[in-house]
Amino acid sequence: MKRNHFYLATVPLLAMTLLAGCYHRDDDRVSYEVRVTNLTEAQPLSPLAVILHRDGYAIWQVGSAASDGLERLAEGGNPDALLLEASANPAVITTVADSTAILPGTSSSVTLMSHAKGNLALSLATMLVNTNDGFTGIKAEILDGLARQQSRSITVRAYDAGTEANSESVATVPGPAAGGEGYNTVRDDRDSVGGHPGVISSDDGLSGSALNASHRFDSPVALVTITRLE
């Protein structure tokens, strides 16, 4: 009897909770689809690291040393450490790692959701895997101007993490062109983030380069399309 009462009392409560949930979703939630298209000839992009945040988070700073997480992404294509660092920052609302690499000419997307509205920005990073420590991404793109179902497309250039010399050697480039080592702790380049100078390749006379002319690239290297879903 008691048990039955409890059950009956629970049903409307559950229903109310569900309704409240619906109401909450419609009015207080924003979500964004972030799609990245690889515009290079032969530079697969590593799984995306995407961060939704407010003022106070900098995924990188040109002229300053890369964080350990960015170094791990830019040298080895692993987004996890960068996203862990981000999650520890109070300005960060949510993070997501994509599950797949993005081959040249293809695209992949992730979705981020937030109950916090206003002053939202998006940052993103992904490695050009046939490089030593090249990456691309966006830094703190302001999202507040986007209405529901509206999209914004941004083309992005390549950056150099500055954490590994650009030898292009078979031992140090982790992508399919070489199959070399990804991340290591040594920082044997200028140790600050900057624009990527591009790759040279063996076809252009860099002895010891595992790359050929197909791995060369010019800006932009990717198209990022942000769509506000709700």
- Residue 35 and residue 227: Cα distance in Å, rounded? 8
Measured from the CB atom, the residue of 180 and 220 that comes closer to other proteins is 220
Measured from the CB atom, the residue of 39 and 66 that comes closer to other proteins is 39
Tell me which residue of 130, 115, 134, 98 sits closest to 29, measured CA to CA.
115
Cα 20 to chain centroid distance, Å, stands at 33
When asked if residue 154 is in the footprint of other proteins (CB under 8 A), the reply is no
**What's the min distance (Å) between Cβ of 117 and other proteins?**
17
What is the strand order of the sheet 194-195 is part of? 92-97, 49-53, 121-127, 134-142, 158-160, 194-195
Measured from the CB atom, the residue of 107 and 184 that comes closer to other proteins is 107
40, 46, 67, 131: residue in contact with other proteins (rule CB under 8 A): 40
Cβ neighbours of 133 (radius 10 Å): 29
14, 218, 229, 230: residue in contact with other proteins (rule CB under 8 A): 218
- Residue 6 and residue 176: Cα distance in Å, rounded? 61
Residue 165 is classified by DSSP as: -
- How many residues interact with other proteins (rule CB under 8 A)? 27
- 48 burial class (0-12, 13-18, 19+ CB within 10 angstroms)? buried
When asked if residue 144 is in the footprint of other proteins (CB under 8 A), the reply is no
**What's the min distance (Å) between Cβ of 70 and other proteins?**
24
144, 188, 203, 230: residue in contact with other proteins (rule CB under 8 A): 203
Stretch that binds other proteins, among 11-19, 71-79, 105-113, 115-123 (CB under 8 A): 105-113
59, 217, 226, 228: residue in contact with other proteins (rule CB under 8 A): 217
Q: String of b and e for 7-41 (b: at least 16 CB within 10 Å)?
A: eeeeeeeeeeeeeeeeeeeeeeebebebbbbbbbe
Binding mask 162-201 for other proteins (x = CB under 8 A): ---------------------------------------x
Phi, psi (degrees; rounded to nearest 5) at 154: -130, 135
Q: Please give the residue ranges that form the binding site for other proteins (CB under 8 A).
A: 26, 37-42, 104-107, 148-149, 155, 201, 203-204, 212-214, 216-221, 223
